[in-house]
Amino acid sequence: MATPHNTAKKGEIAKTVLMPGDPLRAKYIAETFLEDAVCFNTVRNMFGYTGTYKGKKVSVMGSGMGIPSIGIYSYELYHEYDVEAIIRIGSAGGISDKVKLRDVVIGMGASTDSNYAVQYQLPGTYAPIADFGLLRKAVEAGEAMGISVVVGNTVSSDHFYNEFKEVNELWRKMGVLAIEMEAAALYMNAARAGKKALCICTISDHLFTGEELAAEERQTSFTDMMKIALEVAE
């Protein structure tokens, strides 16, 4: 059944979806790694494709930037298209001394400054976490390919530009590895739906060393995290 944001029909989307923020990165993954890839969605240029990887049916679809956007697309995939697992792949800004440019970071947890969890009316503070089975497979896949991964807490921020200039230092003091903008909502949507989710990011810039990758490199060069995510796909 189509939604206002996705024209795919039931059965056209695999049980596991890789979800980069950038729809052009989704197109790149489909064209580079998937066999017999077919486009199932172009609404709002949020491209989605389904193909096979090493004989496994896999889909890849953009999520857009930020918690509200991935909140919409992941909710619909879980509830309208019977998707069982979503693996977010994207860029993140490093804040910990434990990560450097191009490192692959796996978000075991996703702290956030968003109020996304308010909708659940919980009597406390919810801690969004990854599916352990997917996380373990991702670490094992990285080790098998000789890719060093860093596992720990990340933070999903609603602010790319923040007036509170000390915020990164405060997260850093709590041992947070990196900042991105989507994982917390994905983890919460997965938990509420009884499904699986994982966030794998590549460090595109470091907020304390000042190092950064060019925009084109962010779109096409993060192949290590893509390969790990594809190996994890069930």
> Known catalytic residues?
205
What DSSP string runs through 5-25?
A: TB-PPTTSS-SEEEEESSHHH
Closest listed residue to residue 86, CA positions, set 141, 18, 180? 18
Tell me which long-range contacts 26-29 makes (C-beta under 8 A, separation of at least 24): 26/60, 26/61, 26/62, 28/219, 28/220, 29/60, 29/226
Distance, CA of 158 to chain centre: 15
Report the DSSP pairing between strands 16-20 and 85-94: parallel
Comparing C-alpha atoms, which of 107, 90, 97 is closest to residue 206? 97
Number of neighbours of residue 205 by Cβ within 10 angstroms: 17
Measuring CA to CA, how many Å separate 34 from each of 26, 28, 45? Answer: 11, 10, 20
- CA gap 94, 212 in Å, rounded: 10
